[in-house]
Amino acid sequence: MKLTARLILTCCLTTLLAACDFNPGTDRQSATPDPTVKPAIVATTPGVEKIPPPLPATGKYAIDLSFDKVSIRANQANELDILNELATLANFQLLTGDIDWQVVTVDIQTETLQAALVELLKGYPYQIVYAPDKDNRQEILSEVVIGDLPDTEEKEKTDAANKALLKDIEELSEDGQQMAYIQQLQNPQAEIRVVAAKKVKPVGDAFPMLTDMLLKDPAPEVRIATTWALEMSEDPMAIESLVQCLQDENSTVVVECIKSLDFLGDETTVQYLIPMLTHSDENVRSAAADAIKSLQ
C-alpha cells in the first residue's frame, strides 16, 4: 500500500514538472533577447575647442564690421587710433576731450557696434548719440563723445584766436612765415600743427622737426600733414623717415606714407612696399599695389 502511494505521488510530481517546463506563465520574461531588437548605438564625438586666431602684430589692430558681428582685435595699439578708424568705417562723428589715451590689447567680439564701443570705452566717460536716418527711418549711430569737451563759447574763442594767428603769419615776409611756422610746429593744438606742417618748407631746422613729428606726433592728422611736407624735400632722410612711417599704427597714415614714397619716385623703396601687400587694411594693400606698379 505504501509502495503504491509513493509510486502514484512520484508520477504526479513528474507530470506537474513537465507541465511547468512546456507551458510557462504569461508573465515570465525570457532571458534571451529578441533578435529583431538591436541595441541603440550612441555616437560620442569628443568636444573640439575652437582656438581663436592670433592677435595682430604688436602695435597693430584689426577691425571687422560684418553684417552680424563686430570684431575689434588689437595688440598694444593706441586706443584713439582704433576709435578714429571705427568712426571712419561706421560713419559717425568722434568728439574727444582732453584724454590720456591708453595703449590697449583687446579681443572684442560682439553683435552690435554699440556693444563693442561700450566694451572699448569702459575706462572713459562717454556718451553715444543716435540720430534719425532719413533714408531708412530708423535711429543710427551719429556721434560718440568721450571725455569733457570745452563749452561752445570757449571753442569759438579758440577757433577765432587760431584764425587770427594764421592770418598774422600770412602777412609776414617769406622768411618770417618760415620762422613762424617752425614755431607753430610745437603748438599744443593739433589743428595748428597741421597747418604749420603743410605750410613750412622742409629745409633747415624745419626738416628734422618734420621727420620727428612724422614718427612721434600723437595726432594722426598731424602725421599725415608731415607726409605731404616731406614730399617736397630733396633730403634722402625724407625717404628713410617715410619708410619707417610704414609701420605706423594708423592705416590712414600708412596709406599717405605710401603715396608720398610713390610721389618721390625712388624705385629702391619697392622692397619696403612689397610687405604692405599683405597688410590687414585693404586701403593699405591697394595703395601699395598702385605704388609698386608706378615705381617699377
Give the pLDDT confidence of 251-267 residue by residue, as tens digits. 999 999 999 999 999 99
Does the pLDDT at position 26 exceed 80? no
Residue 75 β-bridge partners: 60
Residue 96 β-bridge partners: 146
Q: For the domain covering 152-295, report its CATH number.
A: 1.25.10.10
Give the pLDDT confidence of 78-110 residue by residue, as tens digits. 999 999 999 988 888 888 887 888 899 999 999
Sheet of 138-146: strand order equals 93-96, 138-146, 126-133
- For residue 31, what pLDDT is reported? 40
For 290, what's the count of Cα atoms within 13 Å in the CB-facing half-sphere? Answer: 15
pLDDT band for 47, please (50, 70, 90 cuts).
low
- For residue 247, what pLDDT is reported? 93
Nearest Cα residue to 120 out of 192, 61, 51: 61
pTM of the predicted structure, to 2 decimals: 0.53
Three cell numbers at 260? 608720398
How far CA 45 is from CA of 18, 42, 48, 74, 206, in Å, comes to 53, 10, 9, 34, 67
Domain ranges of the chain: 60-146, 152-295
Asked if residues 111 and 68 have their Cβ atoms less than 8 Å apart, the reply is yes
| Percentage of the chain modeled with pLDDT above 70 | 78
Mean pLDDT, range 56-65, rounded to an integer: 91
- For residue 171, what pLDDT is reported? 92
For 194, what's the count of Cα atoms within 13 Å in the CB-facing half-sphere? Answer: 10
Question: Could you give the CA distance from residue 142 to residue 130 in angstroms, rounded to a whole number?
Answer: 5
Give the pLDDT confidence of 116-143 residue by residue, as tens digits. 999 998 888 888 887 765 555 556 788 8
Does the pLDDT at position 15 exceed 70? no
Q: For the domain covering 60-146, report its CATH number.
A: 3.55.50
Sheet of 103-110: strand order equals 60-65, 70-78, 103-110
